[in-house]
Structure 1
Amino acid sequence: MSPAPGFRAADPAAPCPCGSGGSYRSCCAPFHRGEAEAPTAEALMRSRYAAFCTGDEDYLLRTWSGQTRPASLELDPRQRWTGLEILRTVRGRAQDALGTVEFRAGYRYQGRDGEHREVSTFVREEGRWVYREALDLR
């Protein structure tokens, strides 16, 4: 797991960027390294947010549905994600096959603060949660 150009690897002892309150090492790092699978849609959402923060394009592509996944990603290291707030989760538990997560993510880009709001849809493919698509709520 190496970050995209212009990104630094996450400090394992630092708080996880996903906002869970745990360290990166005990929260999203095992998902990013492929040592564990996210057990719920919300856990996958949080881990994908952390991957945007750390520039982990491989993880983002690996956790994207084969039906909607782009061929590649190019994250902009000038965009810094500043916080994640989960607004609502519908289904997406360990026993579900479909889930949605509504969230708000703050960012800083070219000296300006912004916010991205979205409802993300997650599905199970081959027994694991993947991101399918989003409804942008800007």
Structure 2
Amino acid sequence: MPPALLCPCSSGLRYRLCCAPYHRGEAEPADAEALMRSRYSAFALREAAWLWKSLHPDHPDRARPEAEVVRGLRAYAQSHQFPGLVVMDRRPPDERGVAQVLFFAKVFEKGKDRSFVECSDFRHDGTGWRYVSGALKLPGELPAPPETLTLATFPK
């Protein structure tokens, strides 16, 4: 990706100043939201190795062979488009060290809308923030437009 282009995570920053340092292994995201944004960008840019690295050791995919998981992530990224991300809410780490981010991921597959809202849990692993799990809802399952939700109003 040319360095002048905006980051796919919708931060408004140029990619080289936003998620690129994470994808290249030059830096770790400072918080859960930055990690989540870097994961969305990694899907958009097919950075499957970063998607693997950003999984917390407690994530179920970490029990599977890395090469298998990376192949699956790469295939998903190649068959989908990722036109934008909206972060609606975030919660700092609780007493268990779990931080949360609520976001609306715009995703399309062969022209079909596959967008979703997710409330994701993140935990620091001693090196950096990592994705633990998420509760996903399709827009049609929500009580309100996705962009209006908060962590308090997201249906569990």
TM-score, normalized by the shorter chain, greater than 0.5: yes
What is the TM-score normalised by the length of structure 2? 0.75
Deviation string, structure 1 residues 77-96 (Cα, Å, up to 9, x no partner): 1210111000110114xxx9
* Matched positions, count: 126
Deviation string, structure 1 residues 12-63 (Cα, Å, up to 9, x no partner): 2210000111110010000111100000100000001000101111101101
Instruction: Decide which structure has the larger Cα Rg and report it.
Output: 2
Kindly indicate whether residue 34 of structure 2 is the aligned counterpart of residue 49 of structure 1.
no
Matches of 1:56 and 1:83 in 2, distance apart? Answer: 16
Check 1:33–1:69 CA distance in 2 against 1; reply closer, same or farther (3 A cut): farther
Shift of 1:11: 2.5
Matches of 1:97 and 1:12 in 2, distance apart? Answer: 35
Is the CA contact (8 Å cut-off) linking 1:42 and 1:101 kept in structure 2?
yes
* Matching residue of 1:5: none
Shift of 1:108: 1.7
Q: CA RMSD in A?
A: 1.5
- Which 5+ residue runs of structure 2 have no aligned equivalent? 139-156
Runs ≥4 residues deviating over 2 A? none
Structure with the higher helix share, 1 or 2: 2
Identical pairs, percent = 34
Shift of 1:69: 4.6
What is the TM-score normalised by the length of structure 1? 0.85
Matches of 2:130 and 2:113 in 1, distance apart? Answer: 29
